[in-house]
A and B are shown apart, each in its own frame.
Chain A
Amino acid sequence: MKAYLTRRYRFSASHRLHSDAMSEAENAATYGKCNNPHGHGHNYALEVTVSGPVEESTGMICNLVDLDRTVRCEVLERFDLQNLNSTKEFSANIPTTENLCETIYDILQRSFPHAHLEKVRIEETMLNSFEYAGKKENFVNW
């Protein structure tokens, strides 16, 4: 039987939203306070949802230890307590939470073979959240 497992993680990072393709005035108008050259930070919450058949011998979709290790090594160690703009993932990509969602999805898609990656959801603050489920148009987002 197919089930969906979601695990929640936390990390903190700083960023600055700025596009070299825009003028100074356009950047200020588009990104507002987020364009502050000194950057600012957030406590992000990351939810990773994987799916698959529940294995009869273990009762699990995948071993949580494997999921935790992959997220810790591939995502949290890369971004926690970092300035996102200075990471290689965002050297040419604006570290909006939309882009962060896609980036983390792609990293996990490559590095976690033990279950199907269903989606990645990130809360930037208590008031904003973003979800990415790959290129498919519709996904289970209940």
Chain B
Amino acid sequence: MVYLTRKAEFSASHYYHNPEFSAEENRRIFGKCNNPNGHGHNYTLEVTVKGEVDPRSGFVVDLKELKEILNREVLDAMDHRFLNKEVPEFFTRIPTTENLAIAVWQRLAPKLRAAKLHRVRVYETPDLFVDFYGEA
């Protein structure tokens, strides 16, 4: 089994708010991130896939194809967007780094054919990242 990781970057804005909480609770739990006008990050995404090396091509996965899937399924939808308002997952879920990693996994996993998705890592800043391995 060989693991391959592809990196991508995107920039987006978001804010944290749960309509079931009171205004005071939202402020207490989410702090500055609760500002409804949003704020932004330069996100770095690392997608790791795993599989056996195809003896004909020497590839685990055709990187060109992986890049196209990543662009189409994730970057086109999220880059330079306001996540809460423009990405359907976040109409109901709060766009935390945890939920972003889960959303990226859910977008990519069904589209991959040859290789299997192993891990999605999302850096919100260089000092904060979340890993998701598809665990329930």
1/0 per residue, CB under 8 A from A, across B113-125: the answer is 0000011000000
Q: Are A142 and B119 in contact (CB under 8 A)?
A: yes
User: How would residues 1 to 43 of chain A score, 1 for a CB under 8 Å from any chain B CB and 0 otherwise?
Assistant: 1111111110000000000000000000000000000000000
Number of A positions contacting B (CB below 8 A): 20
For residue B90, which residue of chain A has the nearest CB?
A59
Q: Hey, which chain A residues are within 8 Å of B99, CB to CB?
A: 54, 59
- What is the number of residues of chain B that contact chain A, defined by CB distance less than 8 Å? 29
18 residue pairs of the A-B complex, CB under 8 angstroms, read A1-B132, A1-B136, A2-B135, A2-B136, A3-B135, A5-B128, A5-B130, A6-B131, A7-B127, A7-B128, A54-B99, A54-B102, A58-B29, A58-B30, A59-B98, A60-B96, A61-B130, A63-B29
Stretch in B13-21, B37-45, B61-69, B70-78 with 4+ CB within 8 Å of A: B13-21
Q: Which residues of B contact A58 (CB under 8 A)?
A: 16, 18, 29-30, 94, 96
A59 touches B132 (CB 8 A): no
B94 touches A1 (CB 8 A): no
Q: Are A59 and B130 in contact (CB under 8 A)?
A: no
Having A3-B101, A4-B130, one finds 4 other A-B pairs with CB under 8 Å, namely A2-B136, A8-B127, A59-B96, A61-B98
B1-41 interface mask toward A, CB cutoff 8 Å, 1 = contact, 0 = none? Answer: 00000000000000010101100000001110000000000
Q: How far is the CB of A43 from chain B (nearest CB, A)?
A: 14
Measured CB to CB, the residues of A under 8 A from B are 1-9, 54, 57-61, 63-65, 140, 142
Contact among A54, A65, A142 for B98, CB-based, below 8 A:
A54
Verify if B129 is at the interface (C-beta below 8 Å from A): yes
Q: Is B93 an interface residue (CB 8 A)?
A: yes
